[in-house]
Amino acid sequence: MTFDELKHQDLGCVRAEIRSGQYTGHTAGLGGRTLQANLAILPVSHALDFMRFCQRNPKPCPIVGVSDTGNPMVSTLGEDIDIRTDVPAYYVYRNGELSETVTDLKDLWREDFVTFALGCSFTFEHALQTAGIPVWHIENNTTVPMFATNIATVPAGPFAGPMVVSMRAIPNDRIADVIEISKNFPLAHGAPVHLSDPKKIGIHDLSRPDWGDPAPVPDGTTPIFWACGVTPQAAIVQAKPPICITHKPGHMLITDIADNAETPIHPSNQNPTGEK
């Protein structure tokens, strides 16, 4: 199916199309109001340091799920999520360099892999739109502009590097609202990390993002900057693990978790055990 056809399908259908390799496109707006996630798969040798890196940088790297070592199922995020097939497209990094793009991991999977799923901005963007706040890049079907900043992440082992931010131009009379709304989504980057003057965080030309597409900052709006899920990819490039697999930007893992759930733990994991 095409993206426009999949938009009207339920999560089961969307996942089946992705799993079978029939759909390899981006996931914005697919699967209903479920949590979507950034992906990083690493050998267990690097897993504890990467998990510490995420804990120390909770705004760019909010952990929503971690697999058992070698187990391709991410059971806390849904009853039947196979990370080898359930993301439309993957980037493979070798020694910190992007080496290939693949649409499944059947041949690449290893018994020492640990999967990390990290919250993404789709969740709070949805909430902004619901509150009547325009989100230009969605309305214009482009990718949000992203910039490396002069804000350092808190390092852990070999993982370090600049915080990457995304920019959205917000009408001046809604700035207080977007801060309040996004703060309610700590697993989707939370409140902005910077308001207004881009130079203060090392961004010298808003029209030339480091990733994504440029977006205008019209009169009466202010550029607002949020921590961005590209940050861990920058840290992975710096750490140079022998292998690391991420999602292709925009091509997310769609989970079974409601995007307004209090915790990212699927209810099927939390059964009463019966009488004490």
Of 6 and 64, which CB lies nearer to its own copies in the complex structure? 64
Q: How far is the CB of 21 from its own copies (least distance, A)?
A: 30
With both helix axes pointing from N to C terminus, report the angle between 231-239 and 44-56 in degrees, rounded to the nearest 10. Answer: 140
Residue span binding its own copies (CB under 8 A) among the ranges 88-96, 133-141, 147-155, 214-222: 147-155
Is residue 68 within the footprint of its own copies (CB under 8 A)?
A: yes
Q: Is position 201 an interface residue for its own copies (rule: CB under 8 A)?
A: yes
Would you count residue 131 as binding its own copies (CB under 8 A)?
no
Contacts with its own copies by CB under 8 A: the residue count is 47
Q: Which stretch binds its own copies (CB under 8 A): 31-39, 86-94, 170-178, 198-206?
A: 198-206
How many Å is the Cα radius of gyration of the chain? 18
The yes or no reply on residue 157 touching its own copies (CB under 8 A) is yes
Q: Is there binding between residue 18 and its own copies (CB under 8 A)?
A: no
- Residue at 40: amino acid letter: A
Give Cα 107 distance to the centre of its chain.
24
If the CB atoms of residues 48 and 131 are measured against its own copies, the closer one turns out to be 48
Q: Are the C-beta atoms of 181 and 127 separated by less than 8 Å?
A: yes
DSSP 8-state assignment for residue 156: B
Q: Which of 130, 142, 150, 196 binds its own copies (CB under 8 A)?
A: 150
Indicate which single residue of 14, 28, 30, 66 sits in contact with its own copies (rule: CB under 8 A): 66
Determine, following the binding rule CB under 8 A, whether residue 80 of this chain makes contact with its own copies: no
3-state secondary structure 41-108: EEEHHHHHHHHHHHHHCCCCCCEEEECCCCCCECHHHCCCCECCCCCCCEEEEECCEEEEEECCCCCC
Compute the least distance from the CB of residue 190 to its own copies, in Å.
Answer: 6
Supply φ then ψ for residue 161, to 5 degrees.
125, 180
Element (H, E) at 179: helix 175-183
**Helix (H/G/I), strand (E/B), else coil: 221:** strand
Binding string to its own copies for residues 102 to 121, with x set by CB under 8 A, is what?
Answer: ------------x-------
Tell me if 262 contacts its own copies by CB under 8 A: yes
Rank residues 5 and 68 by Cβ distance to its own copies and give the closer one.
Answer: 68
Residue 272 engages its own copies in binding (rule: CB under 8 A): yes
13 near its own copies, rule: CB under 8 A: no
Name residues whose C-beta falls within 8 Å of residue 249's C-beta, 6 or more positions apart in sequence: 143, 211, 212, 230
Does position 260 interact with its own copies (CB under 8 A)? The reply is no
Nearest to 101 by CA among 88, 112, 113, 114: 88
Q: Is 237 exposed, middle or buried (0-12, 13-18, 19+ CB in 10 A)?
A: middle
Told to check if 76 binds its own copies by CB under 8 A, we report yes
Q: Is 12 in the site for its own copies (CB under 8 A)?
A: no
Taking the chain, what is the end-to-end CA distance rounded to the nearest angstrom?
A: 49
Which spans of this chain sit near its own copies (rule: CB under 8 A)? 44, 47-48, 51-52, 55-59, 63, 65-66, 68-69, 76, 114, 148-152, 154, 156-157, 162, 183, 186, 190-191, 200-204, 262-265, 269-276
